[in-house]
Every structure is written in structure tokens, then in C-alpha cells.
Amino acid sequence: MIPVEKLVDHVRTYNPSSNAKLITDAYEYGKLMHGGQTRHSGDPYFTHPIEVAALLAQQNLDDSTIVTALLHDVIEDTEATYKEVAKKFGVEVAQLVDGVTKLTNLELSSNDAKQAENVRKLLLAMSKDVRVILVKLGDRLHNMRTIKHMRPEKQLQKARETMDIYAPLAGRMGMQWMRDELEDLSFRVLNPEGRNSILRRFLTLRSQTEDVIPKITQDIRDVLQKAGIEAEVVGREKKPYSVWRKMQEKGEGFSRLSDIYAFRILTNEEEDIYKALGAVHKRWTAVPGRFKDYLSQPKSNGYRSVHTTVSGRDGKRVEIQIRTGQMHDVAETGVAAHWSYKDGHRVENPFAVDPFAWLASLTERFGNSDDQDHEEFLEHVKLDMFADQVFCFTPKGDVIQLPRGATPIDFAYAIHTRIGAACVGAKVDGRRVPLWTRLRNGQSIDVTTAEGQRPQSSWIDIAVTGRAKSAIRRALREEHREGYVRLGTELARVALEHVGKKSTDKALTTASKKLGLKNKEALLARLGSAEMTGADLVGALYPELLTNGKPETDLPAAEILGLNPGQYAQPGQCCQPLPGERIVGIATRGKGVVFHTIHCEKLAEYEDQSSRWIDLRWTQGRNDPNNNVTIEVTMANDAGVLGRICTLIGEQNANIADLQFTERKSDFYRMTIEIQVRDVEHLHHVITAVEADSDVAHVKRTRQRLHGTQAEPQKGANGVT
């Protein structure tokens, strides 16, 4: 375990005015809170926050970020509360820790709908304070470094999530070193044989040619010295995943790859970059089509460099990147350079991009989508946010940034939706080309439009940007909307009648809200255009009818983790916690442990009795429908309505334990119903089904328990009740 003195000393090397007491206090507090907890490896749990803090200290980050790293799991995994962290370490740190906690709870490898919503939350948290994601990336990197101690299925889940979300995000933020390592660690889990084959080929290559990297490095130094250019030269083999990706993209074998070696020239002055490029090209033959100038056209994450590939020693092709030291800081650390300190002051790097500017633009663009379609949103994120970019020009010389693989259709929509919709052709560098042509860096594009032109359905497969695809789909839906809505109305009627339900306005409105659509017309249009199925509609309203209420029998019964031997736990009647909700236990005399939801108002009574707080959590598993919860329903005072509501609850495989009327009027009833459900997701199914009834005005969960049978004590994971 890294001692606190070593961490403080390291921070002081770049920030002599660092608040050593704040870091030391956070270290001791985190160590105390995590006391007794261990990782999958058996190491003390607090070794993890320390390693994350050390990772961020290597990026020369500020005190608040380092302290957040030390405390990033205390609210999630210990008795610590937001209020206590704010009191001890300030509101800024508490907000950062709370932000990281919320990111930890996001399921980024779930189904499209849930993943889209959670990615939105991820972007929103980033836009509020980029340091939240810097800590989360550090957390993920250390977890990936120690992933071998997790269960195999958990390793696969985390590796896919890292490869799909966190590694591209690190790259989009300019933290290339972190992206490379995250990708390689994920590659080790997802395709170990593929990675090992690359490593074996590297070993074979070294045995055949010896280590050519020092030789080529010295060759480049000699060329620069002869040209009178002061610069640092370093060389390396590319990471296994980077080589593997190139092989897949180009469809070539290892022996035919031209850029398995990469060399970097770091000049002192910006004007020396092109001088160094000229000296390199004078000495070796440049490979056509492999020159990229990110000085004149920087990437949106602030990356600046000149790339070229030459035929070097013994005819081997090598990639050379040329940039200044300040540009290299941004290339390696990205937006972290915006927060870096040197000699006690924030570093003013002229090449560092303002992280808030591009994040605000990103969230604004995604938030303005009229149709909250999950698939389209994820397209936006994965293409507009994560993809490498090409830079093309309008006839007037304006630069348009597009993802790699973009077409003239994408270019037209990037200028304006109206231009895209009216596009009938395009010229690239003065030559007419098909609309499916893939654009390349530096090309000039002239879009031809025609009055009366409308987007074509074939454009969906031509376009690659989320903006273009979304606009095309929206236009096609509007054009055929009336017919789609008519067809969707009939499909909805048939689908719901098949399960014995009516397709009412209330049911369709409830389903559209559940599916994240604007209104019932948007839902019907999706059904009519085959973008949704009748099963999707039924599943949104009555999921229990699709599964026949059958639980996942292959899962073990859900239990509560955190109880000591001899302890038993029972739910607090004040908040009726359900499996799936975050819970906190309070030790009581004679009652074992009473557990509450994390937001229960009753917990305020124990705020000064931290010794009684116990960190508890549910295991994933099968739950029986015997957890009591109370809902409040406002419904029309009409014959048969109450019976229909009770039937709906029964159809969702929930049992009614008690029912009381709280208000009776001539036109409506208000009543509270105590039901028994499996977990919080099952409760949501019941509420949605009841809310869909046309005679129900309002339904919500209430924390007030009716008089009835006492809930059974819960079983702990250690088998003690």
C-alpha cells in the first residue's frame, strides 16, 4: 500500500503549495471507512483508491481531484454520507465524489434503451465537471489492471464496457496513453489468443532483425542533428490491439503491415516541425497517401501533430509523428492538461482545448433531438463522439469535421438539414461522384441541391453520422407519417387484444412515456414503420404477460450482503425497501438490523450514531413476490373499475395484501393498496400496467405502510437469519 507521505511528496513535486493536510486527512478517512473491506484479490480495499489517486497525481492534477480519488468509493461502499464528506472536505469534493458514485451505478453494458439513458447521464456528469470522468477513468484503469481476480463472466462484461465506452471516451478526451492501455487490457480478456499471436510475431520479428528501434531512433537523431534541429526522438512498438485493429481494417497479415513501429520527434519550437519533416523526407522516401497534417487542422480534442510514413532502414516502413513538447502533453493527457499544475500554478498550455466547450456542444446537440430514439442516440455518441475524423472544405473554404467513412450526404447535412434534404449530387475536388463516396482528408465538396427533392430511404445506408441518419429517418417518418400511424393503430390493437387488453389512448400514452417517445403518435408511427414490434408495446405495458411471470429459475435466491454472523435483518416499515434498491442497515437492540432505502427520512435520526450504521447490499438473484410495498391510486368512481385494477395487479403476478380507501368523491376514489412484489423492477411493471388503464388518473408509490402482516426477516448471504 502506497504510504500517504509518498503520495503527498509526489503531489508537491508539481504543486509545492498543495494542501498536504487535506490529502492526509482524506487518506486517513478513506482508510478508516474502508477498514475491514477487501478486494477480490484479497488485498485491503483501500489499496484501490490509493492507486487511483497515484494515477491522477501522475497527470499533475489538483488537490480536489486527488482527494476525490481517495474518497471516490466511500459514499457508495461505506457508512460515509454526502453531508459528512462535505463537512470534512468541502462541498466541491463532496460533489465530485457524489458524481463519481453516480457514474459507478450506471449500467453501460445493458440493453439499448437503458444504455442510451445511462450514456446521457455520463455525458451530463462530464459537462458539469470533467474531473468526475478523470477520476472514473482512473478507477476503471486500475480495475482493468487487476481484472484477473474477477469472475470470468464479470471480466468479459467489464472488458466489453471498457472497449465500447471508456477507452473511446479516453481517446475522445485526448488521453491517448490511457486509451491504448484500456484497449490492450480489454483485448487481453476479450481475445487472449489474438493478443498472444501478435506478441509471438513481435518476438519472432525481433529474433530475425534484432531490435531495430534503437537503430532507427539513432538514424533519425543523426538526420535532425545534421539539419541543426534540436529535438527528442523516441521509438516504440505499437500496442498489440492497435496492430490487431490495423490487420482487421486493412485485411492484411502481420508481415504486410507498414506501421508496427512508431517514432516520435518532439521539437522545441513549432516552426521546427516542418523543418524536421523536410529533413526526414529528404533522407527517406515518403509513402504516398500516408501524410496527415493535424497542425493546420487540429482534431477536436486538441490533438496537433504531423504524421508521415517513410521507408526507413532496410526498407522497413515506419510511422513518424512530429510535434512540440507542449503539443505532446495535450496528445498524451488531453483535457487533463487543462487541470494540470506546475510549480504550484495551473499550467497554461496554449494547445489544450477547453473541455467544457466541446462537452457543452455535445450534450446540447444530443439533447435537442426531437425523437428520443435509443438507437439513434447511441449512433450519435459512438460516431460523432468516438470516431476518428476527416476534415473537408466547402467551396468557400470553410472546414467541416466528419467521422471517418463519411459521405457527401453527411457533408450536406453537416452544413444544414435543409441542404441535406435537398441534395441531389456532389462534386469532390471538381469531379462529380456518387453520393455513397467515402470522403478523405482535405477534399473540397460542392453539394448540388434541387427544389422539391426529398430524402430517400436508401440514404439511411449511405449516411454514417448520427445527425444525418436522424434527420433522414425523421423526414421519412413525416412523409409517410399518416399511413404509418394508421397501420400502427391497427397493429397496436391486434397486439394488445392478443393478451386480452384494449388499445386505449391512455395505454398508448403510457407506453410512449415508458419507451422514451414524444407521444402516442410517435409510438404508432414506429409500429407502422416496423421500427418497433407489437411485442415491444406489450412488453412496455405488461411485461409479466410476455414472460408469464416465470422468474429466472437458474439464479440463486437474492440475499443481503454485509450482515455479521448471528445477525438478521428486516425491512424498515417507514420506507419499505425492495430488492434492487440501495439500502443501509441500522443495528438495533433485540431486532438485529433494520434496513432502509438510502433516501429514507428516518436515517436522519441516526446521523450522529455512525457506529450503528451497516453497509448492506442485495445480491443479484431470484426474488419471490413477498416484499410489501404500498401504492396510491386515483381512479374514476365507476362500476367495475376497482375489479379491473385488482385484476391488472394480479396479472402482473403481484399479490394484494391490503386495500384502503382514503378519499371518496362522486366522480373519483383515492385508495392505497399494499401489494407484494419481487423487486423494484417488478413494482415498476405493476405501476405501468395500472397507469395504462383509461379510468386511472394517477398512480404512485407511497412510503406509508398499511396495517397488515409483518414482513419476514431477510436472509443474509452468510446464511444467517
The secondary structure of 678-718, three-state, reads CCHHHHHHHHHHHHCCCCEEEEEEECCCCCCCCCCCECECC
Q: In what order do the strands lie in the sheet with 445-449?
A: 431-433, 423-428, 445-449
Residue 42's CB: how many other CB atoms inside 10 A?
Answer: 7
DSSP letters spanning 461-503: HH--SHHHHHHHHHHHHHHTHHHHHHHHHHHHHHHHHTTT---
The residues assigned a catalytic role are 76-77
Rounded Cα gap, residues 61 and 3, in angstroms: 19
Collapsed DSSP state (helix, strand, coil) of residue 236: strand
CA angle at 544 for the pair 543 and 547, rounded to the nearest 5°:
95
DSSP H or E stretch at residue 107: none
Tell me the HSE value of 301 on the side-chain side, using a 13 A CA sphere. Answer: 27
Asked if 352 contacts 337 with a C-beta cutoff of 8 angstroms, the reply is yes
Residue 296's CB: how many other CB atoms inside 10 A?
Answer: 10
Asked if 464 contacts 404 with a C-beta cutoff of 8 angstroms, the reply is no
* Cell representation of residue 361: 456542444
Rounded Cα gap, residues 315 and 312, in angstroms: 5
Asked if 451 contacts 400 with a C-beta cutoff of 8 angstroms, the reply is no
Rounded Cα gap, residues 250 and 282, in angstroms: 28
| Helices 91-104/82-89 angle, 10° precision | 140
Rg of the Cα trace of the chain?
30
Strands 261-267 and 317-324: parallel
